[in-house]
Structures are given as structure tokens and as C-alpha cells.
Structure 1
């Protein structure tokens, strides 16, 4: 059961980086029966889903390399990452036959993991006024690796996802310390009485 949760964590972390790319990989690697069981979007024909997620993945891959594309992606992904995280988590739980009840709780956990990672990346985007190009390539690579590891090597994927969550928590504590140190005292700005 722990390996199942590591697989779910790996898929959710992939959704915290990209939205269309992990869904496209799942659609291309797995059967039509799995596509029919995708929560929330399984009612669409597989070819329509593949077309939608291919277009979005291409935009993610090319748009994330320029500042304007990064802004658009950060805004959209911040809203959709919890939804995609929940979908990916539930899909992985169904594929590996995770024995956990209630299953919707797995979706909630996956959505929260994806949201925390995307929120951290969005924070870094605004703090640095754009993510460097090397980070965009790293994010693409990690997203693909995490989705593949979720099905083929969940232990490694889960460990990578936990490291990313640890880095997200460390980032939030660093931001808090940074803003506390750089905040000006309220009473020092006034002149002599």
C-alpha cells in the first residue's frame, strides 16, 4: 500500500509541474479502457482527449521558454493543477489497484500535492520575475520522469516527489524569513518631532 501511495505522489507531483503533458503521456501509454475510466474527462472520446492534451502540451513545452508564455501558464496552471493532480492520482490508483477506501481521499491528496508544488513554482516565478530557461527544461524532464516512474518505478518517483515537497516547504520558510528581514519598522520612517 505504501508503494501505491508513492506512485500516487509521483503522479501528483508531475501535475504540479505541467498539466497537459502528464495527461498526454497517460493517454498514449495506456489502453482505451483506462481512458474511459478517467475521472471527470473519461466521457470524451480518446482521440478528442489526445488532440486537446497534445495542443496543450505543445503550448506548455514552447510557451514555458518565454516570459509571456510563463505568465499565461502560471495563471492557468495554478487553477487547474489541483484538478489534474486529482485526476492523475485517481487514475494511478485505479491502474495499480490501490486498496484504499474512500478513493476520493487519494484524489484530494493528489490535488493538494499538485497545488502546493504549483504554488511554490508560481511564487518563485514572481520573485525572480520569470523562471530561467534551464528550469523550464528541468521541469519538462521531471514531469515526464515522474509520470513514467508512477507506473514503472513508484519508489523512485515517490522519493523524487517527496524531495520536491521538501524543497517547497523550505522555500516557504525562506520566503517568510526574507520578508521578515526586509520589512521596514513602522516607527522609523518618521522625522524629528
Structure 2
């Protein structure tokens, strides 16, 4: 159970940022780097390090502008399921979850759940980005901090990290309900149930 919570924590980090959690997981295991990480283990460590450092810096600085947020959001939505799955598998292997040895197919289930969690979190952030016309700066810094904390929790405090991941999922579900309610409130009489029909500035 602890290992599963650790995998959820790592996957949630992949739902915040793409390169930063992968960079952190390699640096925290400096003796192995990315040698046991799916996909990344097939690439030379120096190349992986260069790519992850460059993209992490881009995520940290480009996310502070609205144009940068929009570009990053598209890339993050596309790659977050992959990163979430990779993070989940990496942590599951690092924490030696017993079920993954007795039932290898469990690793695939963990990967799918991790990828879906990361994707859901990214979609929620994309929704808020376009509804608010840009995320506030304090939210951006909160995302950076959560990403780092979730990776650290996956190794050192998996219970707390898993609980934070489940709390983020709960907030995502709540947000989707609020969006639907807000969307329906924009409906005008005569729109035939289509709130977008009379909008001057569609989202």
C-alpha cells in the first residue's frame, strides 16, 4: 500500500511539470541516474541530463508569462500521461512493491493509473488557464513547489505524498463540476441549451 501511494505521489508530480520530476528522480538516485527508468534508460545519461535540465529551466521560466503558459500547457497535456506512467513505474520499482514481482501485470495497471492521474491534473490546469486568461503567479510557484515536494515525498514520505495526490484528484473533480455549473450559467434564453451560441468571446 505504501508503494502504491508513493507511485501516486510521483505521478501527480508528472501532472504538474514534465521534465522537472524526471530530473529530480534521477538526481535523487545519483548512483543509478536513469538506468532503471523506462525509455530514458535507452538514452545516454549525459544526453538525458542535458535535455531534462534544458526543459526544466524552460518550464520554470516560460511558465511565468501567459504566452509561455499556453505553449507549455499544450506540450504538457500531450506528454503528461507518458511522464505520469514513467514516474509511477520508476517509483514502483524503486520501492519494490511486492505485487509487481508476483504479478508483473500490476506494473502496467500502476502505469495506466499514474498516466491518467497526470493527464487529469494537466487538463484541470488547462481549464483554469483559459478560464482565468492566465494563471496567477502564486499558482505557478505553487505548482513548482508541489512538483518538487511530491517527488521528495514519493521517496521519503509516501503516505503524505499519496494523500496529497488524492487531494489534488478530489480538487480536480470539484473543479470540473464548477466549470460545468459556470458554463451552464452562461446560457441565455433562446439558445436552445447551447451556452456557446451567443458568446462574443468563446472559451
TM-score, L = length of structure 2? 0.89
The answer as to whether partners of 2:26 and 2:32 remain within 8 angstroms in 1 is: no
The correspondence of residues 133-152 of structure 1 with structure 2, limited to 5 A, is 133-152=137-156
**How many Å separate the matches in 2 of 1:56 and 1:32?**
22
Q: CA deviation at 1:32?
A: 4.8
Q: CA deviation at 1:167?
A: 0.5
Q: CA deviation at 1:5?
A: 1.1
Q: Structure 1: any 5+ residue segments left out of the alignment?
A: none
Deviates more, 1:93-102 or 1:150-159: 93-102
Q: Does 1:40 align with 2:55?
A: no
TM-score, L = length of structure 1? 0.93
Deviations 1:111-144 (A, max 9, x none): 0000000000001001111101111101000000
Deviates more, 1:179-188 or 1:92-101: 179-188
Q: Does 1:164 align with 2:168?
A: yes
Give 1:124's aligned residue. Answer: 128
Seen in structure 2, the aligned counterparts of structure 1 residues 187 and 128 have a Cα distance that, compared at 3 Å, is: closer
Seen in structure 2, the aligned counterparts of structure 1 residues 182 and 44 have a Cα distance that, compared at 3 Å, is: same
Give 2:11's aligned residue. Answer: 12
Q: 4+ runs of 1 displaced by more than 2 Å?
A: 31-34, 185-189
Give 1:59's aligned residue. Answer: 58
RMSD of Structure 2 on Structure 1 (CA): 1.5
Q: CA deviation at 1:105?
A: 1.1
Q: CA deviation at 1:34?
A: 5.5
The correspondence of residues 71-86 of structure 1 with structure 2, limited to 5 A, is 71-86=70-85
Deviations 1:137-170 (A, max 9, x none): 0100000000000011001101111111110000
